[in-house]
Amino acid sequence: MAGRVVVEGTFKVRQSGLVSRRHRTPVSTYTELVNSRREWIELVLKPWCRVARLTDLKRAALEWEDIAGKVDPKVTLWTWAWSRFPDIVHEGLSGVDETHAVRITLKNGAAHVGYPNNRKSEGGRLFLLSIESTGPGRVAEIGPISIDDIAHIERVSS
């Protein structure tokens, strides 16, 4: 059923998860304004972040205050973008979750296992501290890995 459209509130939600605005009369109260903004964030902005390419995410980061208001893009844009891979984010925390080892499978078939480095991972580029065999007492850093190159992320037992 590709292209199927479901109407939710004032937005049309496509099966792809992307949304378009339906025609609606302007809001007239503060409460309607706040609700409209929250609805737009949940139904348009967050889903867009989950599917947008890195180049578009970087463009959005430059204009983030105009798009999303006075919020830190690391807390919103990049966390929402990484949430396309649920095993690398933690609800309520910004950035990537460092507490669990993950297996990153790239679109070219290569795979890496390690712990995400939230401090170093920024701008849609992921760094891992490898737990793969690198020798006794040695830890290798893997990255940067572009969000566009990642096919799948799953948690693994360390």
Residue in 137, 124, 130 with CA at minimum distance from that of residue 58: 124
Per the confidence metrics, is the pTM higher than 0.75? Answer: no
E strand or H helix at 110? none
pLDDT tens track for 23-73:
566 888 889 988 998 999 999 999 999 999 999 999 999 999 888 888 888
**DSSP state, 56?**
H
Q: Is 70 helix (H, G, I), strand (E, B) or coil?
A: coil
Distance, CA of 52 to CA of 73 (rounded, Å): 14
Amino acid at 40: W
